[in-house]
Structure 1
């Protein structure tokens, strides 16, 4: 089966969901806690491609889920068992519940039909959250994974999805990490072994046939 046909088969709107991972203002927006990651997400076009995919998913009837990482002001329940967590506690911008840092970053917009899943702990949007149960209730078999970072949360999301029996699709230009050359290497040597890797345009071509594609 040619790759385009295989991708089209995987992206059946009846059994596909799209997840945005930590595409929030405190992570990839102006004044984010990690300026280098935020800059890479924007300058690489990854964030703009996430927004394109979100719009196309809605138009195609694909469920959109936004996975947001946050913490309580008192830090209760948050992990401290890795350098990453301890370093995050010292960042000038905190992803505190109810603050602007936990809102979705432009140009991504949240629609009424979208699901927003927030987590107070861990590295993965799936492990220990409502995402798996929501996907099963939606009849999902394929999960399109977008967002940040290619260093930690994206591979966690893909592995957790695959371990739970979902097929994962990764639009390679709709994820970002640092340094810039790490992301394509990680995709090639890791994610490509367990997920279907495509470009944003290839995914859009499956969701929007040429005769109805905007523009």
Structure 2
């Protein structure tokens, strides 16, 4: 069990948006990850803790996408991404959540996420999202470097393959964070 303080903890959900949720993921499908994120969000809101929903928006014709030379570039479908790629699925309870739009892998790079968390007194972030070894891992690494305590929720994450997901949870996250499942998280004191 991991006890959280609602006065200093935020939930950060990475890329649980229409265009990403529609892609195949393993070991958990997008619908399951979204449901796990929604359940965590409800618990955080009830405790008075901030919920941050992060989305990636690469711009029209990928104008805002990183353009580094790499061996395996991110696929760019002909005709671009669907118009609703960066939209969040409808969630009436989400009104009041913090929204962060990123243009790269990690939620901290090029955004005001760190500033917004620190102004709210956040010292611990709980992470979930898709893809485990891309957006979630990049965000966890940056959060660790910035001095946050990090918790990564396995059943609220999924990757492009079960192997990449398992590798991150076995070898990467234990060096950067505490690893948990959603049922392990409890708030110790109310705001």
TM-score, length basis structure 2: 0.87
Cα offset, 1:111, TM superposition? 2.0
With over 3 angstroms needed to count, the CA separation of the structure-2 counterparts of 1:80 and 1:126, relative to structure 1, is same
8 A contact 1:14–1:140 mirrored in 2: yes
**Alpha-carbon offset, residue 73 of structure 1:** 1.4
Question: Which residue of structure 2 aligns with residue 207 of structure 1?
Answer: 187
Name whichever structure is richer in strand by fraction.
2
Secondary structure (helix, strand or coil) at the match of 2:133 reads coil
Aligned pair partner of 1:64 in 42, 51, 62: 51
Higher relative contact order structure (alpha carbons within 8 Å, sequence separation ≥ 6) = 2
Q: Separation in 2 of the partners of 1:91 and 1:158? A: 32
Q: Which residue of 2 aligns with 1:212?
A: none
Instruction: Provide Cα deviations, 1:123-152, integer angstroms capped at 9, x if missing partner.
Output: 111111110110111110000011011121
4+ long deviations beyond 4 Å: 82-86
State the number of aligned residues.
189
State the shift of 1:58 in Å: 0.5
Unaligned runs of 5+ in 1: 210-215
- Specify which structure has the higher proportion of helix: 1
Cα distance in 2 for partners of 1:72, 1:178 equals 22
TM-score, scaled relative to structure 1: 0.78
Q: Distance in 2 between matches of 1:101 and 1:110?
A: 21
- Mark the runs of 5 or more structure 2 residues left unpaired by the alignment: none
- Give the 5 Å matches for 1:81-160: 81-83=68-70, 86-90=73-77, 94=81, 99-105=83-89, 111-119=94-102, 121-160=103-142
